[in-house]
Amino acid sequence: MGASASTTRQRILLDCDPGHDDAAAMVVAAHYGDLVGVTTVGGNAPLADVTTNALLTAQIFGIDVDVHPGCDRPLVAEPLNAPEVHGVSGFAGPSLPTLERTASTVGAIEYIIETIRAEDGLWLVPTGPLTNIAMVIRRAPDVVDRVAGISFMGGSAEGGNRTAAAEFNALVDPEAVKVVVDCGARIVMSGLDLTRQFVVDDRLADDLAALGSTGALVFADLIRAYLDKAEERGLPRRGGLHDPCAVLAVTHPEAIERTARPVDVELGGRLTRGMTVVDRRPPANAAGRSSTDRRDANVEHCHTLDHDRCRQLFLDAVAALGSAS
């Protein structure tokens, strides 16, 4: 009898700010990984709303996981939300069921530290502003050597979305980005230059609706509302399904190509605050690095996505979990 294929399921702790694409990340993580816990951070909507949305996602898709609320504001900056993108609640669009779950009384920072210390080799997957993760690193630096890595959605190598230079998650808390990219852990970055390749459009909404389950129809309505808001702002009915990329980079690394690069973040620029600077120049030798701005590669910069594979993986995860409620 031949050896069975080794299907190692990665153990994942998801830190998020639902938003529909965070919900997509949760479903993908639950289906293809071992989702050990979910924490929330103020971002797309205020903390209370994104926590409700995370609980609703777990309820709708039958995901047995606790949700731990975290920081409701960035390390230094004033809070920033995205009602023009996701609605005031963060979950504009579908009619949603009555919430039957409650958040944990254990806060996100304490939960993340305790969970990482109890089990080496977890993947931290943040898909919102990095405030919670930065707080964890500052309060418990030992976590850097205990995690398998930090795979985050945020930043960009080619222009922003909330500003011309900065991607939303990075702009909300640039100081937190700096703590994370400098911490010394294995860092995997899914920025807009990658995540825009995971196309979200009316065709994806239609394919989700065709699955017919409660969960699939919720995703279809979330996406259509997201596209309607884009159209209201004079933008195309097309975007990136950003957050599941950070999960797929862990569960299906063969579907997302990456290159080790030096990455830093602008904290002071009037026009460029929150901009992630991905140095894609050919790496110089010691002589070529003597007096320049060069630094060692500190991030695995994800740059090429197998779109058809990732899109199907998402649809398959929704098909598998979408009938739970």
Active site residues: 242
User: According to CB under 6 A, which residues from 166 to 205 bind ligand RIB?
Assistant: 167-169
Instruction: Select the residue interacting with Ca ion from 12, 19, 51, 302 (CB under 5 A).
Output: 19
Choices 116-124, 144-152, 161-169, 212-220; region in contact with ligand RIB by CB under 6 A:
161-169
In whole angstroms, how close is the CB of 167 to ligand RIB at the nearest point?
5
Count of alpha carbons within 13 angstroms of residue 291, beta-carbon side? 0
- In the complex, the smallest distance separating the C-beta of residue 188 from Ca ion, rounded to whole angstroms, is 16
- How many angstroms separate the CA atoms of 47 and 71, rounded? 7
Q: At residue 101, what is the residue type?
A: R
> Among residues 137, 146, 127, 67, which one has the least CA distance to residue 249?
127
How far is residue 292's CA from residue 304's CA, in Å, rounded to a whole number?
28
Q: Which of Ca ion, ligand RIB, none binds 239 (CB below 5-8 Å, type-dependent)?
A: none
Phi-psi region of 29 (alpha: psi -120 to 50; beta: other; left: phi over 0): alpha
DSSP state of 66: -
One DSSP character per residue, 255-296 reads GEEEEEE-EEE-SS-TTTTT-EEE--SPPP-TGGGTTSS---
What part of residues 19-78 is at the interface with ligand RIB (CB under 6 A)? 19, 21-22, 43-44
Q: Which stretch binds ligand RIB (CB under 6 A): 15-23, 137-145, 180-188, 306-314?
A: 15-23
Residue 168 interacting entry, from Ca ion, ligand RIB, none, C-beta within 5 to 8 Å by type: ligand RIB
Under rule CB under 5 A, residue 128 binds Ca ion: yes
In this complex, which beta carbon is closest to ligand RIB, that of residue 35 or of residue 113? 35
CB of 301 to ligand RIB, least distance (A): 16
Map tokens 């995860």 to a residue: 317
Q: How far is the CB of 243 from Ca ion (least distance, A)?
A: 5
CB 263 within 8 A of CB 324: no
Which residues are at the interface with Ca ion (CB under 5 A)? 17, 19, 22, 127-128, 243
| Binding region for ligand RIB (CB under 6 A) | 17, 19, 21-22, 43-44, 127-128, 153, 161, 167-169, 242-243
